[in-house]
Chain A
């Protein structure tokens, strides 16, 4: 809890929703959310380090339980990619999908950490503002979505050539007639703007809303013992339901990535 300040619902919420920031230069843009970056990189190193560790000792003979688990995850991703993407998926798209799924899943899962206990833990380390869930930071989701968007454009140009891509922007989806060109361009513009927006905001909205609801439930503890017990039950229920949301959102984010990338590979 913020030291010395009077504890109101607003200050409680604000406290939990404030980033640990550092400034790298002049202006608001050069702010860096240390908590977001550290948590996400830490989770990435743990998860991909684990995968790497398992894969390094992987045998083509009888797999151990650990290897079987990793293989199960990879085959799951591979199945999903195979049904959507028709091409050499092993070169890039499938491993990228694995990266997205594992990373986003773990970042979302941080939402299940009990916020007030974690705040106490960070307080012991001398940190007052620390947000554990990187995907509740719009910067993270936009970073992922824009990276995918850039990859999308990259593959568009790579597969169809620059001319082919521009031709597609101008002549689809309505037709080649020059009268339809403006409509086509407008349509594609809307599509190219809406893709990263919906891609990132969907994830951000779901996980951020989940965190807000945890905070609201946490406030029941302020109403006495009965309220605390009620809040605990509500919190447990929401956490169990949230397991579904966490996984589902990671899966949706991965599937959209795969769909966008495979659309970039295919001509209309």
Chain B
């Protein structure tokens, strides 16, 4: 138990080591630790936020899909309706066209018939006149009996 100058030397060394630790060891490491703690906390918060945003996005995408489906169904329905309309219009147009062609054809046929009948009538009249003139060679004068012949022709 001999107290001597060693005590002061040791106290001096102790003071220097404390100063060194306070100045150079503790603050940088504490800063590193606190920075890391902050980084980790931020990362956790960001992860949480990301999760939340993903949930929102999945809701939004589900909404979009539902809307798109709805619109697609609408478009299909519209297209079907339009197709039916087009078919109906085409049918109507075709029917009209057919009717018109039929009417035209009928008119033409009637004209043909009329003309043929006229021709036939003329021919029959000529034939009758020719026959009668042959029979009545002498008595009948074409000029004299023209009225008669015309009335016969009109009766045919």
Contact = CB atoms under 8 A, between A and B. Distances in A.
Contacts of B114: none
Contacts of B24: 52, 55
A107 B17 CA distance: 14
Interface in A123-166: 134, 137-140, 142-144, 146-147
A248 interface: no
B25 A143 contact: no
A98 B25 contact: yes
A41 B31 CA distance: 28
Contact of B3 (A56, A96, A139): A139
Interface in A204-244: none
A48 to B, nearest CB: 6
Contacts of B32: 55, 58-60, 63, 67, 71
Interface residues of A, number: 47
A139 B10 contact: yes
A90 B17 contact: no
Nearest to B20: A48
B28 to A, nearest CB: 5
Contacts of A70: 29
Contacts, number: 125
Interface stretch (B33-41, B96-104, B127-135): B33-41
B14 A90 contact: no
Given A33-B6, A139-B7, A71 B25 contact: no
Contact of A96 (B18, B36, B39): B18
A71 B27 CA distance: 12
Interface string B1-19: 1111111111101110110
Contacts of A37: 6, 9-10, 13
A90 B21 CA distance: 11
Given A75-B33, A99-B21, A31 B5 contact: yes
Q: Identify the 10 closest CB pairs spanning chains A and B, nearest first.
A: A60-B35, A143-B10, A95-B26, A139-B6, A143-B11, A58-B32, A139-B7, A33-B6, A95-B22, A31-B4
20 contacts: A31-B2, A31-B6, A36-B6, A37-B13, A48-B17, A54-B29, A55-B24, A70-B29, A71-B33, A95-B22, A96-B18, A99-B14, A134-B10, A137-B6, A139-B3, A142-B3, A143-B6, A143-B8, A146-B7, A147-B11
Interface of B: 1-11, 13-15, 17-18, 20-22, 24-33, 35-36, 39
